[in-house]
Structure 1
Amino acid sequence: MKIRFAVIDDAAFLRELVKNIVTSAGGVCVGEAANGDEAVTLVESTLPELVFLDMVMPLRNGIETAKVLKELHPEIKIIGCSTIDQEAYVQKAYEAGFDAYVTKPFSKEQILEAISKVLPQQGESTHGRT
């Protein structure tokens, strides 16, 4: 799986966990951010194919961040990772542009399954990179 991804979460240990899971499967982490404002800057400078996005963060929450990212880059895939599992809130996430949603705590299998859901060609970069 040669996917370029970014991890946006205010908890450093969760960023590290997601990074380890996806890089061990062959993904390439292009960066991390701890809040929504940093996320927009990071995505603009690195253009990842996939973003793992927390819902509750300082400065700009996951829903607000997803709306901005999808407006700037409609092709980007967003996987939400959050402790929030209320159906109405998750529905708002999908409406904002999330492509998949994984509830914390999550397993390696749940993360990899979410990736194959949003990027079924996993291993083929949508940016023409190999």
Structure 2
Amino acid sequence: MKIRFAVVDDAAFLRELIKNIVSSAGGVCVGEAENGDEAVKLVQATLPDLVFLDMVMPQRNGIETAKILKELAPDIKIIGCSTIDNDALIEKAKEAGFDEYLTKPFTKDQILKTISKVLPQQGESTHGRT
């Protein structure tokens, strides 16, 4: 899997967990952020293929952040990660630009299968070299 990804979550241990899982599968982490404002700056600077995005964060929530990220980079894929398992909220997230949604806690297999869904082209980078 040769994808460039970023992780946005206000919980450091979750950022680390996702980074380790995706990196061990061959992905390259281009950065991490703990809130929506940092996420926007990170995506502008690195243009990852994929962003793991928490729903509930300080300064800007996941839905607001996703809308901005899709405006900046329409081809970017966003996987939502949250403890909130509410159909109405998940639908709002997809309308805002989330491509898939994982409910915490999740497994390594769930993460890797979700990546394959949003990047079916074997995870090849669309934004330059890894």
Aligned to 1:24: 24
2:15 counterpart letter in structure 1: R
How many residues were matched structurally?
Answer: 130
Aligned to 2:108: 108
Deviation at 1:126, TM superposition (A): 1.3
SS in structure 2 of the partner of residue 29 of structure 1: strand
The RMSD of aligned alpha carbons is: 0.9
CA contact (8 A) 1:115 1:122 kept: no
CA contact (8 A) 2:6 2:51 kept: yes
Deviation at 1:122, TM superposition (A): 2.3
2:3 counterpart letter in structure 1: I
User: Structure 1 pair 91/123, CA: closer, same or farther in 2 (3 Å)?
Assistant: closer
Deviation at 1:88, TM superposition (A): 0.1
2:124 counterpart letter in structure 1: E
CA contact (8 A) 2:115 2:123 kept: no
CA contact (8 A) 1:79 1:99 kept: yes
Deviation at 1:4, TM superposition (A): 0.2
The CA distance in 1 between the partners of 2:16 and 2:24, in whole Å, is 12
2:70 counterpart letter in structure 1: K
SS in structure 2 of the partner of residue 14 of structure 1: helix
1:30 counterpart letter in structure 2: V
Normalising to structure 1: TM-score of the pair?
A: 0.97
1:105 counterpart letter in structure 2: P
SS in structure 1 of the partner of residue 7 of structure 2: strand
CA contact (8 A) 2:5 2:30 kept: yes
Aligned to 1:42: 42
CA contact (8 A) 1:10 1:58 kept: yes
**Where does structure 1 lack aligned partners over 5 or more consecutive residues?**
none
Runs of 4 or more, structure 1, over 2 Å off, are 127-130
Aligned to 2:14: 14
Deviation at 1:117, TM superposition (A): 0.3
CA contact (8 A) 1:2 1:125 kept: yes
CA contact (8 A) 2:66 2:97 kept: yes
Normalising to structure 2: TM-score of the pair?
A: 0.97
1:35 counterpart letter in structure 2: N
